[in-house]
Amino acid sequence: MSQQVDGRGPQPPAPSPYATAPTPRQLERGRRRSTAAVTVLLVLTAAVAVLVARFLASALGPDTLFVVGLLALVPLAIVLVGLWWIDRWDPEPRGWLAFALLWGAGVSVFGTLVLGEVFTAAFAELSALDAGTFGAVVQAPVVEEVMKGAGLIVVFLAARSHFDGPVDGVVYAGMVAAGFAFTENILYFGAAYGEVGWGPELAVTFVLRGLFSPFAHVLFTVWIGFFLGIAAHRMGPGSHAAPARWAGWFLLGLVPAVLGHVLWNGGLALLFDDFFSFYVLLQVPLFLAAIAAVLLLMRGERRLAHEKLAHYERTGWLLPQETVMFGTRAGRLQSRRWARRAGAGDQLVQLERTARRLAAVRHRLDRGHDVERNAAEESRLLRATVRQRQELLAAVGSAGVSPAGLA
């Protein structure tokens, strides 16, 4: 399709026929249902998190809880920054991310405390391990990963329009694991602080758990999120109502999650003689392998985004330069440098975010996921693209920089 490019950018064709499917009233009802669902779940998980916080306050004391809670924020922040970096291409809704974090910090911990005793009573006698070893290498991995995985199932079923691939699964799993690790770190830091206060024991515990292995729980639970993401990618619309379609994928992810947890908890006692060997030969390689896997997933996501943005280039909604700018890493870096020189960095970031969301919506439409809702979102994002492009080029023009910098 030929198109005349001037200071305003391309003139878009008529909207996609998808975009006229739902009425405004239907859209409003859909938004209200989605908002109500995540609000109710947030309230429930927050209530459980408050109960867990009261339990921690009674067990550790309010003053100790305050001190070690601040320390536990350090590894939490490290993990959240990493997850934000992974999620920046197609950001998940903040409400669902908050739910995942609260589930991990509250519901998963509460369920582990309750079910852990039941699990031990039922299976400890079947094992030749002593009570401490059984708790660390059997009970904790199984119960904790099941409880964290249950939160992922809730997100998978209730937010299917936002859970449609392995990267989404990694992000949600990481949030659940981050919440769980935050509360667990409070318990470990609190036990060390309660002995002698500020001292070597607390320092060693903080360094080992907070700085050397802040991503430990993420490395376990991410398997569940990854395989549920594959299930979401393979399933068509409405398949979330058929557990047989996704339960197998959940169990497939639960197995390596539990085994990884077992290896992590029991490696020092069962396989290595000292912590240094355990850390260098097991923990570091596992972490590096996880980083490599995530990078490959993100590379695939960027390739998919470029492919979906090319659709809008073919239909005249995007400039060819914009497909490169927003669909490739090199194009994104070059365009950001150009926009900063022109003093239009904010306008470019807005257009870039809209383009990434367009790519994600187009992928869901092509997969047949929630067509009415995503079609309406596509229509909104296309209108936003036209407006934001005009704002960007106006800002560039007022700065006296040529739009040719887009190339």
The one-digit pLDDT tens for each residue of the chain (407 residues) are 334 444 444 444 444 433 334 444 544 555 666 678 888 999 999 999 999 999 999 999 999 999 999 999 999 999 999 999 888 777 788 999 999 999 999 999 999 999 999 999 999 888 888 888 899 899 999 999 999 999 999 999 988 777 878 889 999 999 999 999 999 999 999 999 987 788 889 999 999 899 988 999 999 999 999 999 988 877 754 444 567 778 999 999 999 999 999 988 887 767 777 777 778 887 788 888 888 888 888 788 778 888 888 888 888 888 888 888 888 878 888 888 888 887 888 888 888 888 888 888 888 788 776 677 778 888 888 999 999 888 888 887 775 555 544 44
Instruction: Provide the 8-state DSSP code for 1.
Output: -
Concatenating the DSSP letter of every residue in 332-360 gives: HHHHHHHHHHTT-HHHHHHHHHHHHHHHH
CA distance 214 to 206: 10
Q: Which two tokens stand for residue 403?
A: 């739009």
**159 neighbors 229 (Cβ within 8 angstroms):** no
pLDDT of residue 45: 94
Coil, strand or helix at 212: helix
Coil, strand or helix at 47: helix
Tell me how crowded residue 402 is: count the other CB atoms within 10 A of its CB: 11
What is the distance between the terminal CA atoms of the chain, rounded to a whole angstrom? 19
Q: Which two tokens stand for residue 62?
A: 């309010």
Q: Which two tokens stand for residue 31?
A: 């938004």
Global pTM value: 0.79
Q: Residue 406: name the closest of 318, 321, 293, 290 by CA.
A: 321
Tell me how crowded residue 180 is: count the other CB atoms within 10 A of its CB: 28
C-alpha distances in Å from residue 348, one per residue of 70, 205, 298, 341, 394? 36, 44, 22, 12, 12
**406 CB burial (10 A radius; 0-12, 13-18, 19+):** buried
Sign of torsion over alpha carbons 174, 92, 356, 374: positive
CA distance 395 to 400: 9
Give the 3-state secondary structure percentages of the chain, helix then strand then coil, rounded to 5: 85, 0, 15
pLDDT of residue 20: 39
**227 neighbors 250 (Cβ within 8 angstroms):** yes
**174 neighbors 83 (Cβ within 8 angstroms):** yes
Helix or strand holding residue 99 (H, E): helix 94-102
